[in-house]
């Protein structure tokens, strides 16, 4: 309706214009006809002038009319438009409560109303927005408070906490953990975990990101800090709900670390107690077993043959005596085994076992176990079957301990199998090897399958079935297998036999495998390398070839003894009586070798060693610790080169001194270059176990940098390394690498080229 009303007005204006034009035309035409009748000869110019002169009133009328029209237009269009513009300006100025009055009842009216409605809407929206903003601010305050509270809680925990992102960088450290390490939380933030918290923590982080996939269980390990504090650290992967690890950039890890130093000390005391007790138990046991055996022998050889054999009573007594002595000896042997096992497991639990790291063929393990248990099987009338998959790769571990596991499982199987067979089966399964002992015996109930690995838990009714063995065999096996990074479990159907299996991790599948002969050859080659390296010109920096030895001991007689002995061997000897003097002298005289006592007042030998080995200027000076304190592991950790115990074994001491002085620097450093990380790890483990210091690199460029920085004595290069030739060429012609010994490592089937 309103639209049409505006049109109506415009229509009126147009019609009026048309009418005026028509009237004007009429007059003009009328004038023109009259003149034509008066004189035809009139010139056309004159006609127009006349016409123009005659039409001015008409133009005047037109002008008046235009003014009228424009006034009308102004009234009906301009004014309402201006009102609307004014209103719109007010809206722009946020005056949403301004009013607009247009009562034209047309489109302007409609526009004005719409604007007003919009203004009302905007006002409402603003009001709502303001309220929301208020709520948000309140929530923000709450959130900040909650965040602060959470931070306070985390910092006030007893345990240390750390978060590591997928890239291995520390993203959060709470106060207790920072305190354990004597740093501040901000010092650690953003740095690689190994840089701040050391290799042990880094290993734990790596383990949980790799192991998580298979087991999902948290990974725990005990970490000893240089301050001799022990932390029990557990690491778990942080799972974000609804996100796969790839979506939030890999797995972050949270590590909780608890100070277990006290518990460790208690553990240590427990172990010491157990060793003492078991030692004390052995002496009376020796008498019991020994004398019983002597009695047995005397009776059998001298008494029984001289007794009348026709008396039934005497014959029966002889038999009983023999049986009873057998029981005493049997039980004595059992008690001995128990003492040995208790000692064994106590040591393992306290981490006091010194594990060997050697290259092992699994077949050798099984063969050795089979040899020991053969007679057991034969006595029990059981068939013993060995079934080993051919071409098993070499593994790294402690062979004696693994043989112990195999013997234990086999003799258990024999013990619980009345007839049938015992099979020892070895299979490769993915990244590990599974060793199973299968029997055809009574089997194990489902409820007992976990508990058989617990201490002193034996399967079956112990009242009717007298338990055989100590109840510690399987827990010991579990400790050994766990140490090697494997698992142990049992599968069984009661009545149909049991299968005890354990796994040992293999070097990665895609890598070529180092066989034991490879390792042996490598070791020999390395040995050759170090001997060759020894032919370097002697150190003549001091103008003589006489070596200076610094003796650090608080005991005057030991200082005197060592001085005499060492001088007789042609060495220059200087002695000091405590750690402080020692460090001063080392800096002044730069000795070729240091002999260090541990138990000294003020500063212990371990502390002195830590200072010497921690200072790059003195780290390469060989250190021999000579002490009554038996803690070679601690010495090794500090980088001590030899650990000898008092009383002094001269021969051994002189040999070590000669060896260390001949090799010049403290330890042979070896750089291992291989693109395959698992090979690097295997080699590193073996070399470390052999007492070398190892640096590794996985590509050519990295290895050149490492070689320049670390100056190794030997470089072992994977023959298949793509940048091999470049690496060798680059280093061979650099002056300081003239004497470096290069060893190429060939995989099976690769030829020497």
Partner 1 sequence: MPTILIADDEQHIRMLIEQTLESLEDEGVEILTAQNGDDALQTIKEKRPELVFLDVMMPKMNGFDVCNAVKNELGIKGIYIIMLTAKGQEFDKEKGIESGCDLYITKPFSPKELKNKAKEILGLP
218 Cα distance to chain centroid: 12
List the 170-173 sheet strands across, edge first: 170-173, 160-164, 252-259, 230-238, 219-224
Which of 444, 385, 437 has the alpha carbon at shortest distance from 411?
437
Nearest to partner 1 of 280, 615 (CB atom) = 280
Return the bridge partners of 502, or none.
435, 488
Query: Tokens in use for 748?
Result: 């099976």
What beta strand segments (E) does 230-351 contain? 230-238, 252-259
Kindly state whether residue 564 participates in binding partner 1, applying the rule CB under 8 A: no
Q: x/- contact string, 619-638, with partner 1 (CB under 8 A)?
A: -----------x--------
Nearest to partner 1 of 299, 442 (CB atom) = 299
Query: What is the footprint of partner 1 within residues 312-371 (CB under 8 A)?
Result: 332, 336, 340, 343, 354
Question: How many residues belong to the site for partner 1 (CB under 8 A)?
Answer: 28
Which are the contacts of 190, defined by CB distance < 8 A and separation ≥ 6?
169, 170, 171
Give min distance, CB of 640 to partner 1, in A: 16
Among 645, 665, 684, 730, binds partner 1 (CB under 8 A): 645
- How far is the CA of 672 from the CAs of 517, 521, 682, 719, 740, in angstroms? 18, 16, 11, 12, 13
Nearest to partner 1 of 632, 730 (CB atom) = 632
Burial of residue 281 (number of CB atoms within 10 Å: 0-12, 13-18, 19+): middle
Nearest to partner 1 of 332, 393 (CB atom) = 332
Query: What is the footprint of partner 1 within residues 55-74 (CB under 8 A)?
Result: none
Kindly state whether residue 283 participates in binding partner 1, applying the rule CB under 8 A: yes
Give min distance, CB of 630 to partner 1, in A: 6
Nearest to partner 1 of 293, 367 (CB atom) = 293
Task: State the Cα–Cα distance between residues 64 and 58, nearest whole angstrom.
Answer: 10
Query: What is the footprint of partner 1 within residues 291-310 (CB under 8 A)?
Result: 291, 293-294, 297
Query: What is the footprint of partner 1 within residues 113-142 (CB under 8 A)?
Result: none
Give min distance, CB of 267 to partner 1, in A: 17
Kindly state whether residue 286 participates in binding partner 1, applying the rule CB under 8 A: yes
Nearest to partner 1 of 290, 430 (CB atom) = 290
Kindly state whether residue 451 participates in binding partner 1, applying the rule CB under 8 A: no
Kindly state whether residue 652 participates in binding partner 1, applying the rule CB under 8 A: yes
Burial of residue 625 (number of CB atoms within 10 Å: 0-12, 13-18, 19+): buried
Nearest to partner 1 of 13, 288 (CB atom) = 288
Query: Tokens in use for 175?
Result: 């106060």
Interface with partner 1 by CB under 8 A: which range of 287-295, 363-371, 597-605, 743-751? 287-295
Which are the contacts of 248, defined by CB distance < 8 A and separation ≥ 6?
240
Among 275, 361, 399, 569, binds partner 1 (CB under 8 A): 275
Interface with partner 1 by CB under 8 A: which range of 259-267, 285-293, 425-433, 696-704? 285-293
Q: x/- contact string, 239-268, with partner 1 (CB under 8 A)?
A: ------------------------------
Which are the contacts of 686, defined by CB distance < 8 A and separation ≥ 6?
357, 359, 396, 519, 523
Which of 524, 575, 572 has the alpha carbon at shortest distance from 554?
575
Nearest to partner 1 of 376, 648 (CB atom) = 648
Interface with partner 1 by CB under 8 A: which range of 66-74, 189-197, 290-298, 685-693? 290-298
Give min distance, CB of 286 to partner 1, in A: 4
Give min distance, CB of 343 to partner 1, in A: 7
Burial of residue 720 (number of CB atoms within 10 Å: 0-12, 13-18, 19+): middle
Which are the contacts of 409, defined by CB distance < 8 A and separation ≥ 6?
437, 477, 500, 502
Give min distance, CB of 460 to partner 1, in A: 29
Longest Cα–Cα distance in the chain:
196
Which are the contacts of 683, defined by CB distance < 8 A and separation ≥ 6?
514, 522, 672, 674, 694, 696, 716, 745
> H or E stretch including 300?
none
Nearest to partner 1 of 79, 400 (CB atom) = 400
Kindly state whether residue 557 participates in binding partner 1, applying the rule CB under 8 A: no
Burial of residue 418 (number of CB atoms within 10 Å: 0-12, 13-18, 19+): exposed
Interface with partner 1 by CB under 8 A: which range of 282-290, 489-497, 580-588, 669-677? 282-290
Which of 232, 444, 476, 480 has the alpha carbon at shortest distance from 356?
480
Among 650, 658, 708, 732, binds partner 1 (CB under 8 A): 650
Residue with the two structure tokens 């240089």: 226
Nearest to partner 1 of 212, 341 (CB atom) = 341
Kindly state whether residue 279 participates in binding partner 1, applying the rule CB under 8 A: yes
Give the Cβ contact number of residue 251 at 10 Å: 21
Which are the contacts of 350, defined by CB distance < 8 A and separation ≥ 6?
267, 268, 270, 271
Contacts 24+ apart (CB under 8 A), 272-278: 274/342, 274/343, 274/346, 275/343, 275/346, 275/347, 278/339, 278/340, 278/342, 278/343
Interface with partner 1 by CB under 8 A: which range of 170-178, 203-211, 275-283, 531-539? 275-283
Give min distance, CB of 684 to partner 1, in A: 24
366-372-374 Cα angle (round to 5): 90
Kindly state whether residue 273 participates in binding partner 1, applying the rule CB under 8 A: no
Among 186, 244, 287, 535, binds partner 1 (CB under 8 A): 287
Give min distance, CB of 341 to partner 1, in A: 11
Kindly state whether residue 285 participates in binding partner 1, applying the rule CB under 8 A: yes
Nearest to partner 1 of 61, 285 (CB atom) = 285
Give min distance, CB of 691 to partner 1, in A: 15
Residue ranges binding partner 1 (CB under 8 A): 275, 279-280, 282-291, 293-294, 297, 332, 336, 340, 343, 354, 630, 645, 647, 649-652
């Amino acid at each position: 309706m309103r639209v049409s009303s505006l049109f109506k007005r415009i229509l009126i204006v147009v019609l009026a214009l048309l009418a005026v034009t028509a009237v004007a035309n009429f007059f003009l035409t009328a004038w023109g006809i009259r003149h034509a009748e008066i004189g035809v000869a009139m010139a056309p110019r004159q006609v127009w002038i006349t016409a123009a002169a005659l039409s001015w009133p008409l133009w005047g009328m037109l002008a008046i009319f235009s003014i009228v029209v424009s006034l009308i237009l102004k009234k009906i269009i301009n004014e309402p438009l201006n009102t609307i513009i004014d209103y719109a300006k007010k809206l722009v100025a946020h005056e949403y409560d301004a009013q607009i009055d247009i009562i034209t009842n047309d489109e302007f009216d409609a526009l004005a109303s719409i604007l007003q409605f919009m203004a009302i809407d905007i006002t409402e929206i603003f009001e709502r927005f303001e309220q929301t903003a208020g709520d948000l601010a309140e929530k923000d305050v709450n959130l900040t408070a909650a965040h602060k509270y959470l931070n306070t809680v985390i910092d006030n925990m007893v345990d240390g906490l750390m978060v590591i992102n997928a890239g291995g960088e520390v993203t959060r450290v709470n106060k207790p953990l920072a305190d354990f390490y004597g740093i501040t939380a901000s010092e650690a933030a953003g740095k690689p975990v190994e840089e701040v918290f050391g290799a042990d923590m880094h290993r734990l982080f790596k383990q949980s990101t790799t192991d998580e996939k298979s087991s999902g269980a948290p990974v725990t390990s005990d970490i000893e800090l240089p301050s001799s504090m022990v932390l029990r650290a557990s690491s778990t992967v942080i799972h974000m709900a609804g996100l796969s690890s790839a979506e939030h950039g890999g797995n972050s890890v949270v590590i909780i670390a608890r100070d277990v130093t006290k518990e460790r000390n208690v553990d240590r005391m427990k172990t010491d107690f157990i060793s003492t007790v078991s030692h004390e138990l052995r002496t009376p046991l020796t008498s019991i077993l020994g004398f019983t055996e002597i009695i047995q022998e005397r009776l059998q050889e001298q008494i029984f043959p001289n007794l009348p054999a026709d008396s039934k009573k005497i014959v029966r007594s002889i038999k009983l005596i023999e049986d009873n002595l057998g029981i005493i000896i049997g039980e004595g042997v059992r008690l001995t085994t128990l003492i040995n096992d208790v000692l064994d497991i106590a040591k393992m639990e306290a981490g006091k076992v010194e594990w060997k790291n050697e290259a092992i063929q699994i077949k050798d393990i099984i063969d050795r176990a089979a040899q020991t248990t053969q007679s057991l099987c034969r006595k029990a009338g059981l068939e013993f079957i060995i079934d080993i998959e051919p071409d098993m790769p070499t593994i790294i571990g402690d062979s004696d301990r693994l043989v112990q596991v195999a013997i234990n499982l086999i003799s258990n199987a024999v013990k619980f199998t009345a007839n049938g067979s015992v099979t020892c089966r070895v299979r490769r399964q993915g990244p590990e090897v599974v060793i199973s002992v299968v029997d055809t015996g009574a089997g194990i109930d489902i409820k007992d399958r976990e508990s058989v690995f617990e201490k002193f838990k034996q399967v079956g009714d112990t009242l009717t079935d007298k338990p055989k063995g100590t109840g510690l065999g399987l827990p010991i096996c579990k400790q050994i297998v766990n140490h090697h990074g494997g698992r142990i479990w049992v599968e069984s159907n009661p009545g149909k036999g049991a299968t005890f299996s354990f796994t040992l991790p293999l070097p990665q599948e895609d890598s070529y495998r180092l066989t034991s002969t490879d390792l042996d050859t490598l070791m020999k080659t390395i040995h050759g390398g170090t001997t060759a390296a020894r032919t370097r010109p002697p150190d003549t920096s001091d103008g003589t070839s006489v070596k200076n030895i610094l003796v650090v001991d608080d005991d005057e007689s030991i200082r005197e003894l060592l001085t005499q002995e060492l001088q007789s061997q042609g060495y220059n000897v200087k002695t000091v009586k405590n750690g402080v003097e020692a460090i001063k002298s080392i800096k002044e005289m730069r000795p070729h070798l240091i002999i260090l006592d541990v138990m000294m007042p003020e500063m212990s030998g371990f502390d002195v060693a830590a200072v010497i080995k921690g200072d790059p200027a003195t780290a390469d000076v060989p250190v021999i610790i000579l002490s009554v304190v038996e803690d070679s592991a601690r010495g090794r950790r500090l980088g001590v080169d030899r650990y000898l115990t008092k009383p002094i074994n001269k021969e051994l001491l002189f040999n070590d001194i000669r060896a260390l002085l001949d090799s010049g620097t403290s330890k042979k450093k070896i750089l291992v270059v291989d693109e395959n990380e698992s090979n690097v790890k295997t080699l590193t483990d073996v070399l470390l176990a052999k007492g070398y210091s190892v640096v590794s690199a996985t590509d050519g460029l990295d290895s050149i940098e490492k070689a320049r920085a670390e100056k190794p004595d030997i470089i072992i290069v994977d023959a298949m390394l793509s940048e091999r030739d470049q690496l060798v060429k680059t280093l061979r012609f650099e002056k300081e690498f003239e004497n470096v010994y290069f060893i190429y490592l060939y995989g099976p089937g690769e030829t020497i080229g």
